[in-house]
Structure 1
């Protein structure tokens, strides 16, 4: 068995073609998601990379539907793109509930407007407060079927421990954490990695490495890390 992790596609052109092909042959996205993405890119160009990609949004919709999710918690709302994707998955689910949290007033306002314009503000609640504070107050809302973490990377270890200690994810529920490889720095922050010169990114990678270690060793979950979308950690609660 080859285990060196060879590059699958021969060059960037083919890689981008593959990405477009995957998007075109995956679960469709509603028009309001494209509008929000365009608005974010035009009005917050310096921050727009914080938004999940279109294909990742398709993955989130597919996953939420596949596990029959009814209650979803998101840590890190930004402008609401991924929460809107979850709302697309749950829009026809009776009693659906999505709770998302963030601390930036400007992006929270954009997200709330997006939820209202898409007609899903009845199932999506945005809590504008620090995530740990929010988690401490969610015992009556959980347990959740799916939790998505895409927030400040230094907070991932504490989010993980708090979610499990407070039993905020149901048995066989799924925790999805984004950006867990951080441009490859989590696995290799040596001079081999062009991003190794960014000290802030290297520090964030160290916290993500801590998080991945917790997820891999904690007996309460079964974990899989995938080298997609800058790294996804998937943990199933046992």
Structure 2
């Protein structure tokens, strides 16, 4: 058995074509999500890469429905794109609740306006405060079926421990961590041109620590997929 991952696509052109193909053949994004994506890219071009990709949003809609999630917690709202994707999955679920957190007043305002425009402000609550301070305060809102981490990378290990220690994820629930491979830096620095980016290099160690913590914690079962800069899935046992 080969123990190396295959180089699936021959070049960047084919890779982009495959990405577009996957988008076109996956669960469609509603117009309000497409509108928010274009707005974010146009008004916050230097920060828009913080937003999950459209295909990742499509996957989240599908995943939340597949898990039959009713309560979702998101750490890292940004402009609300991923929260809106989760809301699309839960909009017809009785008693649905989505809590999302962030600290940037500007992007939080964009997110709130997006939630209101989509008519989901009744199921989405945005808490404008540091997530690590917020988690103990929302313990009564849990346990959650699905938790998505996409915020301060330095705090990923702390988020992981706090979520599990507080019992914020139900048994059988899923914890997803985004950007967990950090352009491959967690696996290979010596052969990685991304190591020339000082900011990216500094973000890699806590993500690597997160992966080590999750893999060694008997309370969860983990799989990491090399998609969207790396997604870690931890199922609570």
1:23 aligns with 2:18: no
1:162 aligns with 2:159: no
Range with bigger deviation, 115-124 or 196-205: 196-205
Residues 185-200 of structure 1 correspond to what in structure 2 (within 5 A)? Answer: 185-190=185-190, 192-200=191-199
Distance across 1 between alignment mates of 2:153 and 2:188: 17
Distance across 1 between alignment mates of 2:131 and 2:64: 22
Distance across 2 between alignment mates of 1:126 and 1:176: 19
Q: CA deviation at 1:4?
A: 1.2
Structure 1: 5+ residue stretches without partners: none
1:237 aligns with 2:236: yes
The residue that corresponds to 2:90 in the other structure is: 90
Structure 2: 5+ residue stretches without partners: none
The residue that corresponds to 2:203 in the other structure is: 204
The residue that corresponds to 1:143 in the other structure is: 143
Q: CA deviation at 1:209?
A: 0.1
Q: CA deviation at 1:17?
A: 1.0
Residues 24-173 of structure 1 correspond to what in structure 2 (within 5 A)? Answer: 24-173=24-173
Aligned residues: 237
Q: Secondary structure at the match of 1:161?
A: helix
Distance across 2 between alignment mates of 1:193 and 1:15: 19
The CA RMSD measured in Å over matched residues stands at 0.6
Q: CA deviation at 1:6?
A: 2.0
1:10 aligns with 2:10: yes
Distance across 1 between alignment mates of 2:208 and 2:234: 15
The residue that corresponds to 1:216 in the other structure is: 215
CA deviation string 1:188-235 (max 9, x = no partner): 112x11111223211210000000000101000000000000000000
Distance across 2 between alignment mates of 1:15 and 1:2: 23
